[in-house]
C-alpha cells in the first residue's frame, strides 16, 4: 500500500468517525497534493468547527514540516476553525492534539507515541461532551452498538 493510499484510508476512517458521531464533515479535495489545501478534513456541528490535519504512522514518531503546520494554522484561522492534528499510530488508534502541543525537533514538528499518550486526547474526549444534557455521547454510543 502506498503512503498516499494509506493517508487516504486514514482520512476516510476519520471522516466516518465524525459522521457516525453526528458531525457534518468533508474531506478536502487535493489535500497534501495541491497548494492552498492546508487541511485534510473539516468537521463541525453547531458551535463546534474543526480543521483536521490527519497523519498515519506505522512507527512511533511522525514528523511534520514547520511550513505545513504554519499553513494549516493560518488556514484554520482564516475560516474560524479550531486546528487539530490527528495522528493514528498502528495498533494504538487515533490521538488528537493542538498544533501547540507538538514537539519542536529543529526543522520539523514531531509527535511521538509517548507525547500522544501524554498530551493527546481520544476521539470521545476531544469531540464529544460528557454531560447528561448532551445527546452527542448517547447518539455516538447508539451508533457504535448498531455498527
The yes-or-no answer on residue 31 being catalytic is yes
Coil vs helix vs strand at 84: strand
Q: From the candidates 2, 8, 31, 56, which is the catalytic residue?
A: 31
CB 111 within 8 A of CB 103: yes
What is the phi-psi region of residue 32: left when phi exceeds 0, alpha when psi lies from -120 to 50, beta otherwise? left
Strand pairing class (108-112; 103-104): antiparallel
C-alpha atoms less than 13 angstroms from C-alpha of 51 in its C-beta half-sphere: 20
As annotated, the active-site residues are 31
Amino acid at each position: 500500500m502506498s503512503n498516499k493510499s494509506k493517508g487516504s484510508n486514514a482520512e476516510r476512517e476519520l471522516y466516518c468517525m465524525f459522521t457516525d458521531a453526528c458531525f457534518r464533515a468533508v474531506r478536502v479535495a487535493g489535500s497534501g497534493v495541491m497548494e492552498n489545501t492546508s487541511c485534510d478534513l473539516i468537521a463541525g456541528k453547531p458551535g463546534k468547527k474543526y480543521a483536521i490535519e490527519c497523519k498515519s504512522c506505522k512507527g512511533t514518531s511522525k514528523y511534520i514540516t514547520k511550513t505545513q503546520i504554519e499553513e494549516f494554522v493560518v488556514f484554520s484561522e482564516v475560516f474560524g476553525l479550531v486546528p487539530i492534528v490527528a495522528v493514528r499510530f498502528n495498533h494504538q488508534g487515533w490521538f488528537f492534539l493542538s498544533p501547540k502541543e507538538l514537539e519542536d525537533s529543529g526543522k520539523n514538528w514531531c509527535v511521538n507515541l509517548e507525547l500522544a499518550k501524554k498530551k493527546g486526547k481520544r476521539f470521545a474526549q476531544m469531540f464529544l461532551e460528557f454531560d447528561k444534557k448532551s445527546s452527542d455521547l448517547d447518539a455516538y454510543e447508539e451508533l457504535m452498538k448498531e455498527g
